Structure 1
């Protein structure tokens, strides 16, 4: 996994719980804790940090990953504002993840093994997103989607339709985005 992911986690943890909490997680996980954004690190290190956070917070793996995704979006927006330029709403941002964000990530961080999302709109207008990754971090993907929705001020109903953790060949999500105009009228 690219070091930038560890950097995002460190920043999200520091903002939410203070920088000393990151040191506690490093000690509890037994990882080195020295991550450069361009570096490549074993997936086991992120899993060890997640396990340490699970123990410290009495949360399960999916809850920790989801929290991370939600809290990483504001950090991403500050560090990489160009990723958010041109997206009019949360749905547009999510739909561009493969062609805009992950394409840029691969340019900035050669060798990055980004997940791939196959997306289409179903008859109801929901965005159907298939998550393709050997890492089985669908909860992180959910957190990123929810974080993007919050960033753009556009609520999303996220439904996990299929999951590799339940024996399915891939994870699939249905995302129902609230229209921006309806949200603005209700305010």
Structure 2
């Protein structure tokens, strides 16, 4: 996983849970916490941090990942405003993940392992097919909520099918209200 994700998550943790919590998580996981934005780090480090946060807060890891994703989106917007230029809303942004956003991420961050999404659309919904060995569907859920916040939209997110429950692919259903 690219260091930029760890950088953004550190900011979210510090802002939402207090400045000492990140250091406490690093201490519990025995991680250095030195993440350069261009560096690559084992996915397990994120899972360890989330697991430690779950133990500390009593909140399920899935809920924490949603919180981190939601909080990360405005920070990613601040770092990469070009990704959001001329995008009229969350729906077109989401639909551009495979064709515009993730290819640009791969240009900026060599070796970035971005997920590939499958889309099914109706007038009011988009269903995301999510399949990744990382199984970070809950983080993706949080990113969608963060996009809704950025674009001042209301998106209901439901996940009737999940890899964490043995499915080969997650289905994340987005309904605009």
- Give yes or no for TM over 0.5: yes
CA distance in 2: counterparts of 1:38 and 1:27, whole angstroms: 23
The structural deviation recorded for 1:92 is 1.4
2:54 aligned residue: 54
Which residue in the other structure is 2:73 paired with? 73
Decide which moves more: 81-90 or 64-73: 81-90
Superposed CA deviations along residues 90-132 of structure 1, whole A, max 9, x for unmatched, are: 111211122222111100111011111111214x541111012
d(CA) in 2 for partners of 1:56, 1:143: 20
Q: Please give the root-mean-square deviation of Cα atoms over the aligned residues, in Å.
A: 1.2
Report the 3-state secondary structure (helix = DSSP H, G, I; strand = E; otherwise coil) of the residue aligned with 1:120. Answer: strand
Structure 1: 4+ residue segments shifted above 3 A: none
Match of 2:95 in 1: 95
CA–CA separation in structure 2 for the residues paired with 1:8 and 1:131: 22
Deviations 1:135-154 (A, max 9, x none): 11110010000110111110
Q: Give the gaps of 5 or more residues in structure 2.
A: none
| SS of structure 1 residue aligned to 2:141 | helix
Distance 1:72 1:87 in 2: 19
8 Å Cα contact 2:131/2:168 also seen in 1? no
Distance 2:19 2:105 in 1: 26
TM-score (norm 2): 0.95
Residue 16, structure 1, aligned to residue 16, structure 2: yes
| Residue number in structure 1 paired with 2:137 | 138
Q: What residue in structure 1 maps to residue 112 of structure 2?
A: 112
- Give the Cα–Cα distance (whole angstroms) in 1 for the partners of residues 82 and 14 of structure 2: 24
Question: Do 1:30 and 1:48's aligned partners in 2 also have CA atoms closer than 8 Å?
Answer: no
In the alignment, the residues of structure 1 paired with residue 98 and residue 85 of structure 2 have an alpha-carbon distance, to the nearest angstrom, of 15
- The answer (yes or no) to whether the contact 1:161–1:172 under 8 Å persists in 2 is yes
Q: Is the 8 A contact 1:66 1:140 kept in 2?
A: yes
Q: Considering only CA atoms, is the larger Rg found in Structure 1 or Structure 2?
A: 1
Q: Shift of the alpha carbon at 1:63?
A: 0.6
The residue that corresponds to 2:126 in the other structure is: 127
